[in-house]
Structure 1
Amino acid sequence: MIHFVLIVNRRCQTRFSRYYNDNEITKQKSGFELEIARKTVIRKPGQCLFFKHGKYTIVYRIYASLYFVVGCDEQENEFGILESIQAWVEAMDCYFEKVTELDLVFNLEKVHMIMDEIVLKGSLAETNQERVLAPIYALTDA
C-alpha cells in the first residue's frame, strides 16, 4: 500500500503532498516531510532509488530539480512504484507541456486531480495516460 506521495525540490521544500490512511504522520507532517526530503536529496546519483525509513520503504525519482517521493510498505514492489512515478510524470508532462516547479505551485489542484486518477486510497488505480487525463480535459473544456 502507498502511504504518502511527496514532490520536493532541491531545497527540501514540499511542493505537493498526499497522505493515505496514516494519522500518525499527519500530526507531525512538516517535520516528517523535511526529514524524508533531506534523506532523499542528499543521496548520491549512483545510489539505489529506494531506501528504508522507519516502517516505510521510500521510493523516489529525480526529474530536473524535483524529487518525486513515494512512501509505501514492505509488501509493495519498489520497481512497480518507480514505473508508476514515471507514468505520473509523463501524464503531468503531457498536460503541462514539460512540467516545472511553477506548474506545481500555480496548478496544484490539477496535480491533485492527476494523482487522484492514478492512486486511489493508497493503491494504484490507473496508469494509462489517456484515461488519467480525460477527466481533467473534460473539466477544462467545459
Structure 2
Amino acid sequence: MLQYYVTDTCSVRIHFVLLISRQGKVRLTKWYSPYSQKERTKVIRELSGMILSRGPKLCNFIEWRGLKVVYKRYASLYFCMCVDTEDNELETLEIIHHYVEILDRYFGNVCELDLIFNFHKAYYILDEVLIAGELQESSKKSVARVIAAQDTLIDNAKEQASSLSNMIAQATK
C-alpha cells in the first residue's frame, strides 16, 4: 500500500517587510533576519531608491544582493517583502495582498494616515499574519477575531484605568 506524505513546499521565508510611501518615507519595517542598524538604514535607502524609480509597467520583482524583493503598490504605499531567490514570487504577492486585505477590513479602506497614527495596530496585524518570517495565519476571519479581542482588552484596560483615576481624584479632593 502506497502512502503519500504532504510536505510544505509552498513555504516562503521572508527576511524583512518594508512599507514605503511614494515620497520615500518609511511607514513600517519588520526584520526577520539579523541586520545591524547601519545595514538596515542602507537597505532601506537602497531599496526605496530602486523601487520608487521603477516604472509602473515593470514587474514587481527585483533581484537584489542574492535575494529577491517582491513589492506591490497600493494607493500611496509600496508594500515590499524580501525573500530567498528560490521562493515563489506569486506566493509572496499573495501574502502582501492578504496583509493589505486585513488592514482594509480593520481600518475600512486603509490609507497611509491610518498606518502613521495607528502604527502599533499595523504591527500587531502583521505579527498575527507572519511569525518569524513565515505565514502564520491565512484566515482573515481568525485574524479579525484576534484583533477584535485585543481591542476589547485594550478598551477594558482603559476603562479600568479611567475609573481608577476618577477614584483617586475623588479621594484626593
TM-score normalised by length of structure 1: 0.94
Provide the alpha-carbon RMSD of the alignment.
Answer: 1.1
- How far apart, CA to CA, are the structure 2 residues paired with 1:96 and 1:10? 20
Q: Distance in 2 between matches of 1:127 and 1:41?
A: 29
For 1:24-43, list aligned pairs within 5 A: 24=36, 26-43=37-54
Structure 1 runs (4+) deviating above 6 angstroms are none
Aligned to 2:78: 67
Query: 1:139 matched to which residue of 2?
Result: 150
Corresponding residue for residue 12 of structure 1: 24
Would you say 1:46 and 2:57 are equivalent positions?
Answer: yes
Q: Which aligned pairs between 1:75-114 and structure 2 lie closer than 5 A?
A: 75-114=86-125
Letter aligned with residue 41 of structure 1? L
Larger Rg: 2
Unaligned regions of 5+ residues in structure 1, if any? none
**Structure 2 counterpart of 1:8, which letter?**
I
Deviations along 1:28-58, whole A, 9 cap, x unmatched?
Answer: 2122112111111111111111011112200
More strand by share: 1
- Alpha-carbon distance in structure 1 between the residues aligned to 2:35 and 2:42: 14
Deviation string, structure 1 residues 49-92 (Cα, Å, up to 9, x no partner)? 10111122000000001000001111311000001111100000
Number of equivalences? 141
Gaps of 5+ in 2: 1-12, 154-173
